[in-house]
């Protein structure tokens, strides 16, 4: 394990029902910054995040977080170890207000949590403005901000964020990505992102997943120059 590795997956395999979806997922997330998982639709990126969270448990291989094996733990125990998860569908409670959505997610109400909440509300002023509005009435971008804020308020060392740009207008995508960029100064982020332009702006290092396997990795700055690789695995020419 590299020094300062916060998360390490080694030869992780996973099934969804009888389907063998992850064949060999091997990667490391260093402390600090943004690590991006890239790959075509259906490559296994979402499944990888769900497997880390124990929602779709690994059938083989190891997942080490903070030097401890977590692959056989239940999702709530994994969350309690300090991993926050922002799923692709955001998981907002439509009938609860913005404030209630945040309060139900908060594990503590101590000073540090309050400070994090204040910081994230500065980052997403809309959440402050619509504090008493039902989550279901928010715009797509505001829902995404709420989902990220909810994961951020807790004392997490790692945030897994699944396709935050999905379905959002370009200007909103830009806003969400800017906020993730600010967040990366404070926590470690593992990001799944199809919007390559955005991913390349905020990502530090990347791994490409293809058909349930990690097939390539490197620094984001190198990938932008590698047209052959981008075409082969990401379909970008
Ligand atoms: N409930 C399910 N039952 C059967 N197969 C599934 C199920 N959910 C996902 N899969 C399959 O698992 C594979 C990986 O899906 P996954 O959602 O992890 O891909 P992805 O890389 O995140 O793609 P996308 O960007 O399209 O979400 C796909 O082939 C998909 O069809």
Query: How remote is the CA of residue 46 from the centroid of ligand 1, in Å?
Result: 7
Assess whether 150 and 173 both reside in one domain.
no
- Ligand 1 site-directed mutation target among 38, 42, 50, most atoms within 8 Å of CB: 42
CATH number at residue 50: 3.40.50.300
Which domain does 136 fall in, by range? Answer: 90-156
Pocket of ligand 1 (CB under 6 A): 16-17, 19, 21, 39, 41-47, 194
CA-CA distance, 128 to 2, in Å (whole number)? 40
| Mean pLDDT along residues 19-36 | 96
| Beta pairing, strands 5-16 & 58-65 | antiparallel
Assess whether 59 and 17 both reside in one domain.
yes
- Ligand 1 site-directed mutation target among 15, 20, 21, 167, most atoms within 8 Å of CB: 21
pLDDT exceeds 60 at position 2? no
Q: What is the mean pLDDT of the chain?
A: 92
User: Which atom of ligand 1 is nearest the CA belonging to 88?
Assistant: 27
- Ligand 1 site-directed mutation target among 44, 160, 162, 199, most atoms within 8 Å of CB: 44
Domain boundary among 107, 134, 156: 156
CA-CA distance, 145 to 180, in Å (whole number)? 10
Cβ atoms of 230 and 237 closer than 8 Å? yes
Q: What percent of the chain is modeled with pLDDT above 70?
A: 98
User: Which atom of ligand 1 is nearest the CA belonging to 50?
Assistant: 18
Phi, psi angle pair for 119, to nearest 5° = -60, -45
Domain boundary among 156, 182, 201: 156
pLDDT in tens, 77-91: 999 999 999 998 888
Q: What is the CA radius of gyration of the chain?
A: 17
pLDDT in tens, 131-164: 999 999 999 999 999 999 999 999 899 999 999 9
Domain boundary among 121, 156, 191: 156
Query: How remote is the CA of residue 21 from the centroid of ligand 1, in Å?
Result: 8
Question: Considering its fold, how many domains does the chain have in total?
Answer: 2
ipTM reported for the complex surpasses 0.85: yes
Atom 16, ligand 1: which residue's CA is nearest? 44
Query: How remote is the CA of residue 133 from the centroid of ligand 1, in Å?
Result: 33
CA-CA distance, 24 to 132, in Å (whole number)? 45
């Amino acid at each position: 394990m590299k020094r300062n590795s916060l998360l390490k997956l080694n030869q992780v395999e996973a099934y969804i029902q009888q389907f063998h979806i992850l064949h060999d997922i091997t990667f490391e997330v260093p402390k600090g910054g943004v690590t991006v998982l890239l790959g075509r639709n259906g490559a296994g990126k979402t499944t990888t995040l769900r497997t880390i969270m124990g929602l779709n448990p690994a059938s083989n291989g190891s997942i080490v977080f903070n030097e401890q094996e977590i692959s056989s733990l239940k999702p709530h125990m994994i969350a309690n170890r300090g991993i926050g998860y922002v799923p692709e569908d955001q998981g907002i409670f439509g009938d609860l207000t913005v404030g209630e959505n945040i309060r139900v997610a908060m594990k503590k109400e101590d000073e540090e949590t309050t400070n994090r909440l204040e910081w994230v509300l500065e980052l997403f002023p809309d959440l402050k403005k619509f504090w008493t509005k039902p989550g279901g009435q928010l715009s797509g971008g505001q829902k995404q901000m709420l989902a990220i804020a909810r994961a951020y308020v807790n004392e997490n060392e790692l945030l897994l964020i699944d396709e935050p740009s999905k379905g959002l207008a370009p200007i909103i995508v830009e806003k969400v990505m800017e906020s993730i960029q600010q967040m990366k100064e404070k926590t470690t982020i593992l990001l799944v992102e199809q919007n390559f332009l955005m991913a390349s702006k905020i990502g530090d290092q990347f791994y490409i997943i293809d058909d349930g396997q990690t097939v390539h990795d490197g620094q984001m700055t190198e990938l932008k120059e590698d047209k052959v690789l981008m075409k082969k695995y990401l379909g970008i020419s």
